[in-house]
A and B are shown apart, each in its own frame.
Chain A
Amino acid sequence: MENSASIADEKTINDLLPQKFGKWGKIWVGILVAICLVGMFAYYRQLRYGLVVTSMRDYASWGIYISNFVFFVAISLVGSLITAVFRLAGVQWSTPLTRIAEVIAVAAIIFASIIIIVDMGSPERFYFLVLYGRVQSPIIWDVIVISTYFFISILLLYYPLLPDIKILLRFKENTGKRLYKFYGFIGSFWKGTARQKKISEKAINILCITIIPVAFSIHTVTSWLFATTYRPGWDSTNFGAYFIAGAFLVGAGAVVVAMYVFRKADHLEKYITEDHFEKMGRILVLLALLYLYFNVNEFLTPYFKMKESERAYLNGLFTGDFAPVFWFAILVGMILPIIILLFKKGRKPLPVFIVGIMVVVGAWFKRYLIVTPTLLHPFLPMHDVPASYRHYFPSWEEWAITMGSLAGVCLVITVLTRIFPIIPIQETLNEQHETAA
């Protein structure tokens, strides 16, 4: 009996150990690296010639870099949702998803920080934020909460990893020499004693509790970068909640996409089951409904009043230049996902995966709509400026850098899952033992 249990354990461990890249893995990494390199070349041009290589000008003074920043901050919130909220709520089934969520969170928050530096006109003065930081400025609030969130997310990824690293260290022959050394460096102190387990348990609990207000803060403060201004479309008290709701939605969308991909690529059908997609599908519906609710709040009341200062902005969204993107984001990002996921068949892995992609793509364009249309509808007329200042369509450098950052997030996720087991091994074993007993 004892023997068969350990055989089952070995099988589980074997299933979940990080795998070397196969042919497709190598192609995937190659493509990502190539996109990142193009992005880096575009950034080199931007550093050399200035932000003039972008299409941003005095009116559209923020563009897709800032949209992308908001998008990354939004996605990174999922780490706190899946790991912390579920853990504190005693949700058992989410165990195989926690690491996926944390890895996405860490990757996204890293690139949120990078893209915000990319957006700066004088990035060489980045340290001025520390040297001369004014705590009255919402940007400094953002710097503080984002760096806090980054460290909590790293720890929340790291602590639950320790028991897994102990397992990984048993397989010296499978891992490369350097990787083995790395495992030893970050995890050899973990012996798995009762005392260590207790400390770890406690630490993780504390992190789970602290990460929730910090997660709420990062996205609320990010929304305040807009809501603390007077501009039509940003001057809204709804913004914090609206951003958080959207963030949970896109984060959950990203997780189901990742779940599907890892399930296929690493043959994890036994661990990431159809039931997981079913449950995540339900969560997605809930989050999409919530986000839709905030969208109705955000647009219906201004539309009802049609204040003169907001008229052009609202018309631009509903029927004007931005209408195709606006309705795309609403339909593809919210309404269609809700409809699909309401059906039981819609919550099978493939439809959920497709819905996840829809949600993520819709969310990206939604962030674009939050930033650009407002800036192109100032209070005073856009006058005495070159004609090109009155429109905004990103330049190739902006697209390249943005795509590069998106590829960068995927690359970080890919590398992390090459190094670490994407599904927590020890926790899976513990749960198996519990069910067996």
Chain B
Amino acid sequence: MNQENNSRRDFLLSGLMAAGIGVAAGCAPKSPFETAVGDEVKASGKKIKLLSVDGEVIEVDEAFLKPVPHMPPVSNTEARIGIPGKKFVMVIDLSRCKNLKKCQSACNHAHELNPGQNWIKVDPMQEGEHTAPYWEPTTCMHCDEPPCVKVCPVDATFKREDGIVLIDSDRCIGCRFCMAACPYSTRVFNWDEPMLPAAVASQPYSAETSIPQKKGTVGKCDFCADMTRMGDLPHCVSACPNGVFAFGDMNEDTVTNGAETFRFSELIKDKAGYRLMEDLGTKPSVYYLPPVSRNFPFESGLENDKIQNK
């Protein structure tokens, strides 16, 4: 049964999801087509085009299609490997940010974070006395040379094939060396028992959802690895009304903020994208576009900033 489950997931992943269609044949834990046959669904005659596992376009009758239930959680081994062939990147356009913090609240909600915990922080930055201030949202940089992964004594935090750096909370011993090592101060510790709904707290931990957070372990931005596995955008990206965040796959050279899609290399070239603290050699996966020709004045974000920073 497990075998079938896996093959169904593989089918979904490489076939349907790539085509961007959120429906598939069969949802019971049997073979994809058995259910439909067993339920004696009558063909409607209306055909829908799909992309098969082999990349061929096939036609399926609409009646055989059913909504995909929730993705079964991936195993720890799969979560540690990542999605083959992908290299996820994020581009944060500083000229569009007015510190609305929608990214932050969406992230906090999606990851069931406790009050005071923010995996996304929006910092007021000013490099020098006479330089312009701007708002800088920071996530985990998902470095290609991650200092946190280097220092972890038990392999609790790891770097995946697809570039995402995740945490295995069932492995973390809470030594906090990673927090000291991270120059971006991105990691957030669970100093006490997280307040979670019982249904959430009792779930087995998944490194891709980073849920549930556990007392005495470290948490941080996970690039919403569960969303990317489903082919969806991270919560911060879709929550931002100003399109500050663009997310995508470097191998495809494409990033999108949901509304607009860019060639990653061109975007970085045209807008002179850069990464934070390049001199440290951490090689982040998060790129920033400089705050030029801004959509909002810096001051427009000040009011919202006072809520958390008195």
B30, CB-defined interface residue at 8 Å: no
Provide the residues of chain A in CB contact with B123, threshold 8 Å: 380-381, 383-384
Contacts of A375 in B (CB 8 A): 180
Q: A62-B176, A128-B173, A379-B184 are in contact. Are A56 and B191 (CB under 8 A)?
A: yes
Give complex CA distance A346, B92 in Å: 64
Residue of B nearest to A226 (CB): B180
B293 at the interface (CB under 8 A from A): no
**Bound Cα distance A167, B302 (Å):** 78
Q: A52, A131, A389: which has the most chain B beta carbons within 10 Å?
A: A52
- Cα A427 to Cα B170 in complex, Å, equals 53
**Docked CA distance A51–B189 (Å):** 10
Residue of B with least CB distance to A128: B154
Chain B residues in 8 Å Cβ range of A182: none
Chain B residues lying within 8 Å of A231, measured Cβ to Cβ, are: 180, 183
Which residues, 194 to 226 on B, are CB-close (under 8 Å) to A? 214-218
Any chain B CB within 8 A of the CB of A378?
A: yes
Q: Which 3 A-B pairs have the closest CB atoms?
A: A121-B174, A121-B216, A52-B192
The answer to whether A24 has its CB under 8 Å from any CB of chain B is no
A132 surroundings in chain B (CB, below 8 A): 154-156, 171
Q: Contact: B179 with A384, CB < 8 Å?
A: no
Contacting residues, chain A, for B185 (C-beta < 8 A)? 58-59, 378-380, 382
Q: A133-B154, A134-B153, A386-B116 are in contact. Are A121 and B181 (CB under 8 A)?
A: no
Report if B172 contacts A (CB, 8 A). Answer: yes
**Cross-chain contact B179 with A381 (CB below 8 angstroms):** no
Which residues of the other chain, A, contact B187 by a CB distance below 8 angstroms? 58
Interface presence of B152 (CB below 8 A): yes
Total residues of chain B contacting the partner, CB 8 A: 47
30 A-B residue pairs with Cβ-Cβ distance under 8 Å, sorted by A, are: A51-B216, A52-B192, A62-B180, A120-B175, A121-B172, A121-B173, A121-B174, A121-B189, A121-B217, A121-B218, A129-B173, A132-B171, A137-B151, A137-B177, A139-B151, A139-B153, A140-B153, A143-B153, A226-B180, A228-B151, A228-B181, A229-B147, A231-B183, A378-B185, A379-B183, A379-B185, A380-B123, A380-B138, A380-B185, A386-B116
B179 x A50 contact (CB < 8 A): no
- Residues facing A in B123-150 (CB within 8 A) are 123-125, 138, 147, 150
Give the docked Cα–Cα distance between A229 and B152 (Å): 12
A385 sits at the interface (CB 8 A): yes
A residues adjacent to B (C-beta < 8 A): 49-52, 54, 56-59, 61-62, 119-123, 125-126, 128-129, 131-134, 136-140, 143, 225-226, 228-231, 375, 378-387, 389
Q: Say whether B308 faces chain A, with CB atoms less than 8 Å apart.
A: yes
List A contacts of B171 (CB < 8 A). 125, 128, 132
A50, B190: Cβ atoms closer than 8 Å: yes
**Is B118 an interface position by the 8 A CB rule?**
yes
B16 is an interface residue with CB less than 8 A from chain A? no
Asked if B70 lies at the interface with its beta carbon under 8 angstroms from chain A, I say: no
Q: In the docked arrangement, what's the CA distance between A275 and B121, Å?
A: 62
Q: Name the B residues within 8 Å of A58 (CB-CB).
A: 179, 185, 187-189
> Which of B124, B176, B216 lies in contact with A381, CB distance below 8 A?
B124
Given A131-B154, A133-B153, A383-B124, 13 further pairs, Cβ under 8 A: A50-B192, A52-B191, A54-B191, A58-B185, A120-B173, A121-B174, A122-B214, A122-B215, A139-B177, A379-B183, A380-B185, A385-B118, A386-B116
Q: Contact: A230 with B175, CB < 8 Å?
A: no
User: Which B residue's beta carbon lies closest to that of A225?
Assistant: B177
Is A121's CB under 8 angstroms from B176's CB? yes
Q: Which A residues lie within 8 Å of B310 (CB)?
A: 387
Contact flags (1/0) for B275-298 with A, using CB distance below 8 Å? Answer: 001001000000000000000000
Say yes or no: A229 contacts B309, CB within 8 Å: no
- Write the nearest CB–CB distance from B253 to chain A, whole angstroms: 29
B90 at interface (Cβ–Cβ under 8 A)?
A: no
Q: Could you tell me the distance in whole angstroms from the C-beta of B299 to the nearest C-beta in chain A?
A: 17
| Residues of the A chain whose Cβ atoms lie less than 8 Å from the Cβ of B280 | 230
Most chain B CB within 10 A, of A54, A58, A131, is at A58
